[in-house]
Amino acid sequence: MNRVISIESIKVACKNCSLGSLCLPMGLTPPDVEKLEKIIKRNRPLHRNDHLFRETDAFSSLYVVKTGTIKTYLPREDGGEQVLGFHLPGEVIGLDAIQDERHACSAKVLETSAVCELPFGQLEELAQVIPSLQHQLFRLLSKEIAEEGKMLTLLGKKNAEERLASFLMSLSCRFKRRGFSPTDFYLSMSRNEIGNYLGLAVETVSRLFTRFQEEAMVRVDRKHIELLDQDRLESVARGSLCSRGNESNSM
Amino acid sequence: MNRVISIESIKVACKNCSLGSLCLPMGLTPPDVEKLEKIIKRNRPLHRNDHLFRETDAFSSLYVVKTGTIKTYLPREDGGEQVLGFHLPGEVIGLDAIQDERHACSAKVLETSAVCELPFGQLEELAQVIPSLQHQLFRLLSKEIAEEGKMLTLLGKKNAEERLASFLMSLSCRFKRRGFSPTDFYLSMSRNEIGNYLGLAVETVSRLFTRFQEEAMVRVDRKHIELLDQDRLESVARGSLCSRGNESNSM
DNA sequence: GTCAGTTCTTGATGCAGATCAACATTCACT
DNA sequence: AGTGAATGTTGATCTGCATCAAGAACTGAC
């Protein structure tokens, strides 16, 4: 092995990573983090439209987004696609592939991104000897499952404006936790991708951005978003604004 | 400990369980299954409308449905609820609670059911020393995540008849794997619950059942369902029947 | 710089499915 | 068995959002 790897290893070192506790190492002791670092592979940066993996590809590693944004999606029967999610720094992709050793979705890069690669076989071995890592992995997978519930409610019950407001608030929260501005950010995905993700037509998304802006809740300039009234946006997201005195399907 | 537990232990014994390989023990060696059995708790049977747990309850155990059906749901802001899923024998509930030690959803019994209780702390300890159990657990969680994608496509892109057809086919498959008839079964959930789960109004579900019956795809008598033409139902579910030459949001 | 191909916006129209309403059936309880 | 409540069905109407259409703004390749 090459001895001159100091620069490289600094770049990978979890303890120097800006993600800090957002990532897997959370809750691990420093020596355990070091063991974890040993199995992490670094890859060259990925560029817009690169595929990190495709559906049915053999599964070997999980990936943590270090910088950039990655979209996961499922091809549909009719040739279209269903966007499953947009993944920001600190978020892990590939969890759905553990079950049958094949990726269950495709992952495409939306803007220049860097990822940490975690060979899953080695990760499992490590989890076998580091209880807190095993626990951390269970938590990670569990969190993903819990999030799903929210999304089902969004797609099953919310109307268009509630969906878009929820989407913006979700991004805001996630940016905030990463130390970015929660009120001023750029969208790395197209209107089409937003609509696809939220189960809405592009035109509806576009109209809603315009309306939200007219109502002074946000300022929209192309992909640049400023949230002007988070409280109201949050209310809209929860569906607790305006009339809506319904309780449909309440049983 | 009581020595006279033979009857009890037979009832719990995974090797005698009709679920067989559908359940957690899948892929474990007999001695490992025995260790697993030691931590499984048996509970008295649950009755219709009992709650197995409620959202925000402290999390201590996963549950495997042994017989019956259990519905998981999330309360909504407006007082209604969002049905997250219907769980048949062999399916595990509570996975979404690992992350923060609280249940993320409520679980309600639809018809008299029995469950195996797996104290998660002990399960983790066991997974720490049985690599194949750890792997099995990762797979289990992963599967749940992968399934989600399908559901997002259903709610985001499919129309009413595609949704109901998908629902029936999903039940059919799951019954089949459990050794029940895939073409003749009883629904343990109400029309309202089906509609809620599929993001449809009750009336729509009711009309579709009528229509499917008129089209001779199914025979419906109250909660009793017979699938008369699985192929066509499958086609409807995939949206590959009739016109629909669309490719909306295909990018 | 120009031009072709995306992506986005805005307006006009149509329709799937929600909602409203009324009745039928089944269930739960005494 | 009888009564009230819950659940299911069917029809009529309404509406939110998809779809269609057309132009504007941006992007990237040369």
On whether both B139 and B229 belong to a single domain, the answer is no
On whether both A127 and A22 belong to a single domain, the answer is yes
Q: Is residue B184 part of a domain?
A: yes
On whether both A99 and A190 belong to a single domain, the answer is no
For the ranges A157-166, B8-17, B146-155, B209-218, which has the lowest average pLDDT? B8-17
**Closest CA relative to residue B241, chosen from B213, B212, B219:** B212
Q: Tell me, what's the pLDDT at A42?
A: 80
Residue B78: count of CB within 10 angstroms of its CB: 16
Q: State the total domains in chain B.
A: 2
Query: Are A155 and B156 a contacting pair at CB < 8 A?
Result: yes
On whether both A76 and A179 belong to a single domain, the answer is no
Contacts of B169 (CB under 8 A, 6+ apart): B230, B233, B234, B237
pLDDT at B200 over 80: yes
How does pLDDT run along chain A (251 residues), one tens digit per residue?
444 434 444 455 677 676 666 677 777 888 888 888 888 888 778 999 999 999 999 999 999 999 999 999 998 877 789 999 999 999 999 999 999 999 999 999 999 999 999 999 999 999 999 999 999 999 999 999 999 999 999 999 999 999 999 999 999 999 998 889 999 999 999 999 999 999 999 999 999 999 999 999 999 999 999 999 999 999 999 987 644 334 445 45
The CATH number of residue A204's host domain is 1.10.10.10
On whether both A208 and A109 belong to a single domain, the answer is no
The CB-based long-range contact list for A168-172 (8 Å cut-off, 24+ gap) reads A168/A218, A168/A225, A168/A227, A168/A233, A168/A237, A169/A230, A169/A233, A169/A234, A169/A237, A171/A88, A172/A227, A172/A230
- B171-191 pLDDT, tens digit per residue, is 999 999 888 999 999 999 999
Question: What is the pLDDT confidence band of residue B76, given thresholds at 50, 70 and 90?
Answer: confident
Q: Tell me, what's the pLDDT at B20?
A: 66
Domain boundary residue among B126, B153, B180? B153
Domain boundary residue among A103, A130, A148? A148
On whether both B46 and B125 belong to a single domain, the answer is yes
On whether both A52 and A91 belong to a single domain, the answer is yes
Nucleotide nearest to A204 (CA to C1'): D17
Contacts of B225 (CB under 8 A, 6+ apart): B168, B184, B185, B186, B187, B218, B219
Domain boundary residue among B135, B153, B171? B153
What residues of B are in contact with residue A98 (Cβ under 8 Å)? 138-139, 141-142
The CATH number of residue B10's host domain is 2.60.120.10
Q: Is residue A32 part of a domain?
A: yes
**Percentages helix, strand, coil for chain A, rounded to the nearest 5?**
45, 25, 35
Convert A200-228 to b/e letters by CB count within 10 Å (16 or more is b): bbbebbbebbeebbeeebbebeeeebebe
Beta strands in chain B (DSSP E): 41-42, 51-53, 61-75, 81-87, 92-93, 106-119, 184-186, 218-221, 224-227
- B49-67 pLDDT, tens digit per residue, is 999 999 999 999 999 999 9
- Interface probe, candidates B249, B250, B251, chain A, greatest A C-beta count within 10 A: B249
d(CA A78, CA B248): 9
On whether both B146 and B231 belong to a single domain, the answer is no
Contacts of A2 (CB under 8 A, 6+ apart): none
Q: Is residue A41 part of a domain?
A: yes
Residue B199: count of CB within 10 angstroms of its CB: 24
Q: Is residue B243 part of a domain?
A: no
pLDDT at B244 over 70: no
On whether both A166 and A144 belong to a single domain, the answer is no
On whether both A60 and A30 belong to a single domain, the answer is yes
| Burial (0-12, 13-18, 19+ Cβ within 10 Å), B79 | exposed
Query: Are B195 and A77 a contacting pair at CB < 8 A?
Result: no
Question: What is the pLDDT confidence band of residue B125, given thresholds at 50, 70 and 90?
Answer: very high
| Residue nearest the C1' of C26 (CA based) | B222
Q: What positions of strand D are covered by protein, i.e. any atom < 7 Å from a CB? A: 7-12, 16-21, 26-27
Question: What is the pLDDT confidence band of residue B3, given thresholds at 50, 70 and 90?
Answer: very low
Q: Is residue B76 part of a domain?
A: yes
Q: Which domain holds residue B130?
A: 6-153
Q: If you write DSSP's letter for every residue of B149-178 in order, what string do you get? A: HHHHHHHHH--HHHHHHHHHHHHHHHHHHT
Q: Tell me, what's the pLDDT at A176?
A: 93
Length reported for chain A: 251
Averaged over B1-17, what is the pLDDT?
A: 51
On whether both B114 and B66 belong to a single domain, the answer is yes
Q: Tell me, what's the pLDDT at B243?
A: 40
Contacts of A86 (CB under 8 A, 6+ apart): A69, A70, A71, A110, A188, A189, A193, A197
Q: What positions of strand C are covered by protein, i.e. any atom < 7 Å from a CB? A: 7-12, 16-21, 26-28
Length reported for chain B: 251
CB B57 within 8 A of CB B103: yes
